[in-house]
Chain A
Amino acid sequence: MHPLHIGHLAIASSAGIGVAATLSSLRSGTSGLRPCEFETVRLPTFVGAIDALADVALPDALAAFDCRNNRLAEMALGQDGFEEAVADAVARHGTRRIGLFLGTSTSGILQAELAYRARDATTGNLPQDFDYQRTQNVASLAGYLRQRLGIGGPSFVVSCACASTAKTFGCAARMIEAGVCDAAIVGGADTLCLTTLYGFHALALDAPGPCRPFDIARDGISIGEAAGFALLERSHAHTGSDAIMLLGVGESNDAYHMSSPHPDGIGARLAMERALNVAGLAACDIDYINLHGTATRVGDAAEDLAVVTLFGSDTPCSSTKGQTGHSLGAAGIVEAIISVLAIREGLMPGSAHTETVDPSFRSHYLLKTQPARIRTVLSNSFGFGGSNCSLIFGRAR
């Protein structure tokens, strides 16, 4: 594929609102995970919540889209001049030449959860003000941003569980390659809701304390919420040699189980291999790997095996979910942005809350953040349904 220029970034997670706060959290190794006090949820687990969402307001004209997920998208849009960068891209390319490829797993389902609690006692009907299309439906996020940013090009929402926002990079790369658009906004949002908190608890996949990726005592995930966006454009004459590019995308399916990864990491390895092939890179060209590393017993073991099989035991790697929590459908864009920042700022993030790496693991796992000259990063995102996606970012060559 033709490398795509990562023009502009926006991020909001429990580890930091905006790029500067995110970087500061990566440098200091601080974590956004706290005991869960979300809504009426009473579960013995930790979450990465963004409390300031209560104060976010959507523009009046788009008030019908109001839900936690679109509020978080709105919050992220306001960071780091992203909205202005989109306006500039619209002016350069024209509104119909910009694509909008976003991801989420649960969209605004919290609105439906609240509506089901408020059903009419006699008819069973949902409250009149429940707006399915603009809140609960998967496509709500694209509907909101299309109007909010005045985008007229192709748009849809990818929902492939925890690989969702990683896969939006693939959609954008193909659309631009095919000439359907000249630039694209990728990323998306996922927010706390009862469905995922009680769902992961039912699967016994949530940790009672903060998640500890790759630790010998790891005992499950901590759910977080996050939103992030990136503006992708074809590289052009004045793209500097220090520009950071999307170099490769690799996707695969496990074909193994709906909620458990293949124990041999076959699907994960395939996604990484395909990303390397697309980028025209060898495994030894990757300087750092941002792992999926959710801190489940099986998931981390399978990913370690897949990484070691392909890269050996020398390539530094870490999961940043101890800092951010697992933001599910948004994990792909959050970690894509962390990967870009790692290259731009010259650092390899450590792993908050991880103390003792599982001695049976053979990958080169980083506990502490360290400075490093990095040219190329691979980022992994794997989801339910066996959906896998690996992204490669690097300096322009």
Chain B
Amino acid sequence: MMRIFVEGIGILAPGLEGWPSTREVLANTRPYEPRPVSAPSAGLLPPAERRRAGLTVRLAMAVGIEALGQAQRASQEMPMVFATSGGDGETIHEILTVLATEQREVSPTRFHNSVHNAPSGYWALATGSRAPSVSLSAYDDSFAAGLLEAAVQVTVHDTPVTLIAYDVPYPPPLHAARPVAATFGTALVLAPHGSERTLASLTVAMADFPQSTTRMLDPELERLRLANPAARALPLLAAMARGDGGMIHLNEIDVAVAAL
């Protein structure tokens, strides 16, 4: 069992743009009005890299910067955990399409952007941070896996860690094989000790036996939760927004949330 402290939250999803207004929506003090996410800029990157950065890079960067800003933590020397089910579908689709042609002329930039850890690489380029980072996937449980990995790092290394979870819809024909239906990115700055910046504490543990996953009560938000692997974070974000604490079940991982 690991107790960690949330210092900053970032979010970008349909109708949930930034933590201040999202917090009101998830606390039921503002109606949820879904609308398409506008592609965030990749402002931190040098101009040449900015042109090459795809949607996953921009999304990860936008939510990461929001969360670090709230936490008043520098990105320098901040260990990072990137959790994403499948990465940049647009780039993979372009490569697969070219490989099905006679010439098979793969773009070198698309090829290096196709790696699962591309957002991690661009994050390091943008921030200049040489701190360790890990990029992982556990399919629909990627957010829970990332939270577990981040909580373990915070606890074992006694250091703050930033978790960024994101996934984006895939273009056809991949979409039919992996129907991610909405864009969703979220970030949590997690610290080993409480402070005046603490928003909530989380006690993270493997479940003794699998519990039924915590759902969203609002049908639109429940649809969003199921539409994107990163949106599996919503019940945890909602518990922090309400500030009333409680136990959140993320498949095999239990998270006890306490407001401070």
Task: Report 14 cross-chain contacts, Cβ distance below 8 Å, ordered by A residue.
Answer: A112-B96, A116-B99, A125-B173, A126-B177, A154-B206, A155-B145, A160-B135, A177-B156, A202-B111, A254-B130, A256-B125, A258-B118, A267-B130, A386-B121
* Whole-angstrom CA separation of A59 from B86 in the bound complex: 26
Interface residues on A, range: 35 or more
CB distance from A113 to the nearest CB of B (A): 5
Which residues of A, 126-173, contact B by the 8 Å Cβ criterion?
126, 130-133, 136-139, 142-143, 153-161, 167, 170-171
A28 interface residue, CB < 8 Å from B? no
CB distance from B103 to the nearest CB of A (A): 10
* Whole-angstrom CA separation of A154 from B2 in the bound complex: 15
Evaluate whether A385 and B120 lie within 8 angstroms (CB atoms) in the complex, with A137-B178, A139-B137, A157-B138 already known: yes
* B139 touching A180, Cβ below 8 Å: no
* A199 touching B95, Cβ below 8 Å: yes
In the complex formed, the residue of B with least CB distance to A181 is B206
B73 interface residue, CB < 8 Å from A? no
Chain B residues with CB below 8 A from A167, complex form: 134
CB distance from A348 to the nearest CB of B (A): 29
* Whole-angstrom CA separation of A217 from B156 in the bound complex: 45
Given A157-B137, A195-B111, A255-B127; 6 other pairs, CB 8 A cutoff? A105-B115, A116-B99, A138-B85, A174-B152, A203-B112, A386-B124
Count of residues in B whose CB is under 8 Å from the partner chain: 62
Chain B residues with CB below 8 A from A194, complex form: 99, 104
* B176 touching A158, Cβ below 8 Å: no
Contact of A384 among B112, B141, B149 (CB under 8 A): B112
CB distance from B258 to the nearest CB of A (A): 20
Chain B residues with CB below 8 A from A126, complex form: 173-174, 176-177
* Whole-angstrom CA separation of A200 from B178 in the bound complex: 27
* A139 touching B85, Cβ below 8 Å: yes
* Whole-angstrom CA separation of A158 from B116 in the bound complex: 9
* Whole-angstrom CA separation of A383 from B128 in the bound complex: 17
Which residues of A, 174-202, contact B by the 8 Å Cβ criterion?
174-175, 177-178, 180, 194-195, 198-202
